[in-house]
Structure 1
Amino acid sequence: MLRGVNRVVIGVVGLVLVCAGALVLAPGAGLSVPSWWPYDGPSDVLLSAADRTRWRGEGWWWPTVIAVLAVTVVLALWWLLAQLRRSRLTEVLVDSGDGEGALLRARSLEGVLAKETESLEGVSHAHITLTGRRSTPQARVSLQLEPYASPGQALTSLTDEALAHARDSAGLEVLPAEVRLASGKHGARRVT
């Protein structure tokens, strides 16, 4: 979801910046512009002295400007922190019995879990992503089911077999999972 929001936000900001740049640069470059264009030529200013000082005497002006700028800064910082936060887990802490533990690459566990899930009856494709903390990972599972598969049976097999094996092999008490199911498409049968 974050990737989609990023694309929309970056696209909208880019479009606004390109339009604003074209609006200002066209007359500044001496290009002929239509009569409805807000700026006439290279000597025209973006904001006149009257426009710049119009609201200064109003009591609401400066609190509004400061509030808008503060909200903009907070949203920009939130967006930056959302970019830096990793949603995918890089390693899982495995209890090795010596009190220190061992680190297992999360991609390795994801790969093994995906292969075992794909070997289950009715599952054609599986995509696993581990999220959370390294001591308490969580799994995001996307399953592509065969057209004939029963979703309930596939979900039961996933939790009882593949997720249970991964939980036991990593020495985890629990391995919560969010599972998304999609049904496979099948072609029309030919009658001869």
Structure 2
Amino acid sequence: MNRSNRVERVLASLLGALALAAGAAAVLLHRFGVDRPVLDPVALDWARRHLLPVRIGLIALGLLAVLLGLWWAWRAVRPERHPDQRLDDVVVTAKALASAVRADAEGLPGVDGARVAVVGTPALRLRLTLRHGTDLTGVWLELDDRVLSRARAALGVDVLPTAVRLDLDKRPRQRVR
């Protein structure tokens, strides 16, 4: 239900594993007394003899890293999609569906406010603010029985994945006189 960060996590994990492996290899080589330079002298001699192709390759590798970084950054900050739902010949906008579910949720006893977002194909992200002292079990049952069942019926689906976050209002302050 949350915005997927799978690609970011996988890339960060791969980069971290690569850096960890390189560091562990350097520590192990140093620990066991291998006294060699990091870059092999044979490879350095070859690179000096083929300087132009090596430079072109390194520039291409750098540009690829920049493009990958830009793509990664764009993917992380791009706006989340709120898709409209198509029901036979009618298109229900995500905003209309969210407004209807919000109005139903705000009508529940003990609910002070609701925020709804339509994500996925279709799925809901619902955030309810409850008054102090509200019966949590009652709100939960009413939410499923009244609000979500109406949304499922309106969309014509049997299953409507919903992430629900409940926020509790603070107890009203009592002034001592």
With the length of structure 1 as denominator, give the TM-score of the two structures.
0.57
2: CA distance, partners of 1:86 / 1:188: 38
Letter in 2 for 1:131: V
Quick check: which one's helix share is greater? Answer: 2
1: CA distance, partners of 2:119 / 2:158: 16
Change (3 A) 1:71 1:58: farther
Q: In the alignment, which residue of structure 1 is the partner of 2:43? A: none
User: Does 2:60 match 1:75?
Assistant: no
Q: In the alignment, which residue of structure 1 is the partner of 2:128? A: 143
Q: Which runs of 5+ in 2 are unaligned?
A: 4-46
SS in 2 for 1:128: strand
User: Could you tell me how far 1:156 is from its partner in structure 2?
Assistant: 2.3
2: CA distance, partners of 1:171 / 1:160: 16
Q: Which runs of 5+ in 1 are unaligned?
A: 3-55, 95-99
User: Could you tell me how far 1:130 is from its partner in structure 2?
Assistant: 0.3
User: Could you tell me how far 1:82 is from its partner in structure 2?
Assistant: 5.2
User: Could you tell me how far 1:58 is from its partner in structure 2?
Assistant: 9.6
User: Does 2:105 match 1:113?
Assistant: no
2: CA distance, partners of 1:113 / 1:80: 31
2: CA distance, partners of 1:188 / 1:85: 39
The sequence identity of aligned pairs, in percent, is: 23
2: CA distance, partners of 1:58 / 1:142: 64
Does the CA contact (< 8 Å) of 1:151 and 1:181 recur in 2? Answer: no
User: Moved runs in structure 1, 4+ residues, more than 6 A?
Assistant: none
User: Could you tell me how far 1:174 is from its partner in structure 2?
Assistant: 1.6
2: CA distance, partners of 1:180 / 1:64: 49
Greater RCO (Cα-Cα under 8 Å, separation 6 or more): 2
Aligned pair count reads 130
With the length of structure 2 as denominator, give the TM-score of the two structures.
0.61
What pairs with 1:1-192 in structure 2 (closer than 5 Å)?
A: 57=48, 62=55, 65-81=59-75, 86-89=80-83, 91-94=84-87, 100-133=88-121, 137-190=122-175
1: CA distance, partners of 2:157 / 2:90: 12
User: Could you tell me how far 1:81 is from its partner in structure 2?
Assistant: 4.7
Superposed CA RMSD in Å reads: 3.0
Range moving further from structure 2, 163-172 or 79-88: 79-88
